[in-house]
Amino acid sequence: MTIRVSVCYGKPTDAAAFDDHYQNVHIPLANQVPGLQQYTYGKVSSLDGSEPPYYAVAGLYFADRDALQAGLTSPEMGAAGADVKNFASGGATLFVTEEETVGP
């Protein structure tokens, strides 16, 4: 089982500024979080062409709850968390999922 923290970013007021800051500042900060096994990121689109509820979604993967807790309480996560206000003008929604692989 893997623990995933999902970060869903609302539509920013300036998409180009969001993208630049996310790529050049936030990703390097988040990649320093101890225990982080995988970090994914992608822009969101809807299957039916409607306006999606989020601009982008990131996934931060940890081996287990202990690794997650250590990562969440680290200074590196503190720095990454504090950085969110610098680019996420559309807000951010976070949640945790315990995941298991059930397919090929």
What pLDDT, on the 0 to 100 scale, is given for residue 1?
84
Cβ-proximal residues to 11 (8 Å cutoff; 6+ apart), any chain = 54, 55, 90
The two beta strands, 92-99 and 2-9, are antiparallel
Structural domain of residue 25, as residue ranges? Answer: 2-99
CATH of the domain at 93: 3.30.70.100
Bridge partners for 43 per DSSP: 56
Please check whether residue 10 lies inside any domain of the structure: yes
**Does residue 6 lie within any of the structural domains?**
yes
Averaged pLDDT in 10-residue chunks for the chain of 104 residues = 96 98 98 98 96 97 97 97 97 96 92
Structure tokens at 78: 């503190």
Residue 104 belongs to some domain of the structure: no
Domain count, the chain: 1
Q: Strand locations in the chain, DSSP E?
A: 2-9, 38-43, 56-62, 92-99
Residue 67 located in a structural domain = yes
Residue 70 lies inside a defined structural domain of this protein: yes
Strand, helix or coil at 46? Answer: coil
pTM of the model: 0.93
